Homo-oligomer: A and B are copies of this chain.
Amino acid sequence: MAADASDAPRAWQSVLEHIEAQLLEGRLRPGDRLPGERALSTELGVGRSSVREAIRVLEVLGLIRTQSGSGPSAGAIIISTPGGGMSALMRLQVAASGFPVADIVRTRLILESSVAGDLADATPAPDLTAADRLLDAMDSPTLAPQEFLALDAAFHLALAEASGNQVITATMAGLRSGIEGYALQGLAALTDWHATSARLRIEHRGIVEAIRATDAASARTRIHDHISGYYAETFIDPARTPTT
């Protein structure tokens, strides 16, 4: 549907479609190497620059990883790191004011609350060792605020990963990237970083405790309040310029 190859299939789009078709047929799988740019160029009858534009798109979208040189690890290799593409998308859309920050925060609230509740309800108790390790790291008193925030983001991401839902994990990584700039700016709005970080640490522990206690309702509430509270504290003006 839509304006993909409707009337004027551009050269790079045909390359993209060719690769997508091969992926769908299973002739290309994660770990495989794409043909060389020159080979693809002659094979599809387009210029090498058009092939490169398609390759570039795939790379930004997190589908492939390119590597110069020679050998088995060189070339364009199919990986699947959706988080990268999602991050680029969210970051740029926020920059272009296509995504209001408030909407991103709301989406985070929805997804993270759901994740926390699901983790608490999960029948085989989820593996939270990664989250625990991050919480321990955040207890270090010598952390710079930026380092703390990075660990904080990793903690939330670890919860998503523990839920096993890769779509949510990638989306949350992207959401985080989209508002990272604002989070760093908001740092300056905090009057007492020491108190704030201490509160965040306590809230984090509380979230994990609620999950371990299989108290889904509490886990949802705690993470919801945790996120909304933090943004209420840092964003002086949460009602930023809306969409155009």
Contacts and interface: CB of A to CB of B under 8 A. Distances in A.
Interface of A: 1-2, 12, 20, 23-24, 28-30, 49, 52-53, 56-58, 60-63, 78, 80-82, 84-89, 91-93, 95-100, 103-104, 106-107, 110-111, 114, 150, 164-168, 170-171, 175, 180-181, 243-244
Interface centre among A49, A82, A100, A175 (most CB of B within 10 A): A82
A149 to B, nearest CB: 10
B107 A168 contact: yes
A88 B62 CA distance: 12
Contacts of A110: 110-111, 114, 168
Chain A binding site: helix, strand, loop or mixed by DSSP?
helix
Given A30-B96, A95-B24, A110-B110, A104 B61 contact: no
Give the number of times this chain occurs in the complex, counting copies. 2
Given A60-B61, A88-B61, A180-B1, A165 B96 contact: no
A106 B165 contact: yes
Contacts of A95: 20, 23-24
A62 B166 contact: no
A175 B82 CA distance: 13
Contact of A63 (B62, B87, B93, B114): B93
Contacts of A87: 2
Given A53-B53, A98-B81, A171 B61 contact: no
3 nearest CB pairs, A to B: A80-B98, A23-B95, A103-B167
Contacts of A58: 92
Interface centre among A84, A92, A165 (most CB of B within 10 A): A92
A185 to B, nearest CB: 11
